[in-house]
Amino acid sequence: MNRIGNGSKRQVRLKRNAQAIYQDLVDQFGFTASYESVKRFMRALRHIDPKQFDRLEFAPGEEA
């Protein structure tokens, strides 16, 4: 499952949906678990990997 899990993390970063990832798992690896299990796994990954942002603070007139 580790190899599949690592590939799925990459797929989440590429914004692929769970249905497409599930189909790839079935086709490429002979995945036998349910689609619901993939959805649960993907949901957990999306919550772990928040988008990064940097807060920039400037005094009035300083940004220009």
Are the beta carbons of 22 and 31 closer than 8 angstroms? yes
pLDDT, tens digit (0-9, with 9 covering 90-100), for 20-40: 889 988 998 899 999 999 888
Report the chain's mean pLDDT, rounded to a whole number. Answer: 78
Confidence at residue 26, expressed as pLDDT on a 0 to 100 scale: 92
Task: Quickly state the pLDDT bin for 60 (edges 50, 70, 90).
Answer: confident
Percent of the chain with pLDDT over 90: 14
Cα(15)–Cα(9) distance, integer angstroms: 10
22 closest CA partner among 7, 13, 50 = 7
Cα(31)–Cα(26) distance, integer angstroms: 4
Whose tokens are 């959805």? That residue is 39
pTM: 0.57
Cα(52)–Cα(36) distance, integer angstroms: 28
